[in-house]
Amino acid sequence: MPAGDHPAHLDPAPIGRWSSTPFELGVMESSQLEPRDDGTGSTTIANLAGDETSHITWNCPTAGVLELRDEHGGATRVRYTLAPVRPVGGGEPVRAAAFEPSLLCAHQYAHTGYPT
* Of 99, 32, 88, residue with least CA distance to 65: 99
Residues 6+ apart with CB under 8 A from 5: none
The answer to whether the CB of 113 falls within 8 A of the CB of 97 is no
Q: Tell me whether residue 4 is in a domain.
A: no
Phi first, then psi: give them for residue 27, nearest 5 degrees.
-85, 140
Q: Tell me whether residue 88 is in a domain.
A: yes
Q: Per-residue pLDDT for 77 more than 60?
A: yes
Phi first, then psi: give them for residue 38, nearest 5 degrees.
-95, 5
Residues 6+ apart with CB under 8 A from 2: 59
Count how many domains the chain has: 1
Average pLDDT, the chain: 87
Q: Tell me whether residue 9 is in a domain.
A: no
CATH number of domain containing 59: 2.40.128
Give the Cα separation of 92 and 4 in Å (integer): 27
Terminal alpha carbon distance of the chain: 24
Residue 115 pLDDT class (50, 70, 90 cuts): low
Give the Cα separation of 35 and 41 in Å (integer): 4
Segment 93-110 mean pLDDT: 94
Give the Cα separation of 54 and 116 in Å (integer): 18
Residue 10 pLDDT class (50, 70, 90 cuts): very low
Residue numbers of the domain that contains 83: 17-113
Q: Tell me whether residue 12 is in a domain.
A: no
